[in-house]
Homo-oligomer: A and B are copies of this chain.
Amino acid sequence: MTAPLHEARPAAPGRALPDTQQGMRRRNLARVMHTVSAEGPLSRAAVASRIGLTRAAVSTLVDELIRTGLLEELGPERPGRVGRPGSALAVSGRGPAGIGAEIGVDHLAVCAVDLRGEVRARAIRHGTNRGRSPEPVAGELTDLVRQVVAEAEQEGLWPAGLAVAVPGLVARDARTVVRAPNLDWHDTDLGALLPADLPLIVDNEANFGGLAELWLGEGTPRDFLHVSAEIGIGAAVVVDGQLLRGTRGFAGELGHVPVRPDGPECACGGRGCLEQYAGEEAVLRAAGLASAEDRVAVLADHAAEGDETVRRALREAGEALGIALTGAVNLLDPESVVLGGALAGVGPWLLPSLRAELARRTAGPACPVSVSRLGSEGPLLGAAHAVVRGVLDDPAAVAEGG
């Protein structure tokens, strides 16, 4: 008995559902889907050895998944090794699709992603939503969704669900926008305003951005902080491959972490919050630029041209971010920090001071900070993929044809 007791967590005490044989099968179906999805075309035998079941068991699981249209048989593998070649299995490109949507301050966007992770249809509408009431915005979004769904259906896909990214706080019911300052929305039940025939997930844009980073980003860190600054500054906290949501769903409010406790007042009631130093408005003001249309691009342009005022503004924003992130890193010990959203665009001018500040305040090696390669697409892709993950996580819940 010198077992690694500290790892002994095979049982999940919190699990609510009874552990029955059907549940076992559902979980094994999910494991087959995840394995095939993650590691490309694979034979039944390869799947079996990876998930630890026998070939026979995997065969029956695969049969069921092919019948429901979630897996496809691609035909015999190119040999190369001795023995009978396997029959390659791949996730279906004609089954369910995840519909992702984004309500931005300046645009609406919708896309459809198939189980393979490919974007199969998309639609965008530009134009500000600032101050518009939820109903017309949701109406327009619904139109875009229908358009994208129709397009996807022409390619043999059917919508498995809709996920909407919003620039604000979302309650844990994943329907209600509690506060979206830049839209001026409060306690808005998006569930009542969007198509009722699709399962709906609403979440913070930063959260979906973080999930996109988790699922599509470089490397495979499972513990990281994804910082996303559009107008407010939000963060997604990913712990062990799971999004940390908090009791009310408000986790990740990095923008209101105190940086200088006696600094300027903030709308939140506090003083010297990060947003007062690294928020878009603050940076534009410090850079001496008016609030323009494509604000971040303007910043990046001026910085690239060598405008010293702009560069200083960005440098100081980086310092403030570094201070706030020092606190976060001390608290969470993440593997890395990733900058996404608008921040990514001005990364080159932000990173040096940010990294310096973080390193200066850290005893050992500082937590690595990088820029997301997903750019501004993150939240939209994350939303669509959230639906896809839902299917992979419980393929048995999906009936052919929706």
Contact = CB atoms under 8 A, between A and B. Distances in A.
B13 A361 contact: no
A53 B244 contact: no
Interface residues of A, number: 93
A9 B390 CA distance: 7
A27 B17 contact: no
Given A174-B6, A223-B247, A330 B27 contact: no
A392 B10 contact: no
A393 interface: yes
Nearest to A333: B246
A86 interface: no
B268 A363 contact: yes
Interface string A245-278: 1111111111111111100000111110100000
Interface stretch (A69-77, A108-116, A196-204, A344-352): A196-204
Interface in A21-40: 21, 23-24, 26-31, 34
A362 interface: yes
A324 B326 contact: no
A237 B269 contact: no
A308 to B, nearest CB: 23
A394 B334 contact: no
A390 to B, nearest CB: 5
A268 B327 CA distance: 13
Contacts of A251: 331-333
Contacts of A223: 246-247
Interface in A321-371: 323-324, 326-328, 330-335, 360-363
Interface string A166-185: 00000000100000000000
A260 B334 CA distance: 23
A235 B17 contact: no
A71 to B, nearest CB: 16
Contacts of A245: 333
B257 A330 contact: yes
A324 B323 contact: no
A161 interface: yes
26 contacts: A2-B197, A3-B199, A5-B201, A5-B390, A8-B393, A11-B30, A11-B34, A13-B392, A14-B241, A15-B31, A18-B28, A18-B53, A19-B28, A20-B24, A20-B53, A21-B24, A237-B331, A239-B239, A246-B333, A247-B334, A250-B333, A253-B331, A257-B330, A269-B361, A269-B362, A327-B327
Given A1-B402, A18-B51, A18-B52, 12 more contacts: A8-B393, A10-B394, A11-B393, A13-B393, A223-B247, A255-B330, A256-B330, A258-B259, A269-B362, A270-B360, A270-B361, A328-B331
**8 closest residue pairs by CB, A with B:** A246-B333, A18-B52, A11-B30, A270-B361, A5-B199, A257-B327, A6-B174, A253-B330
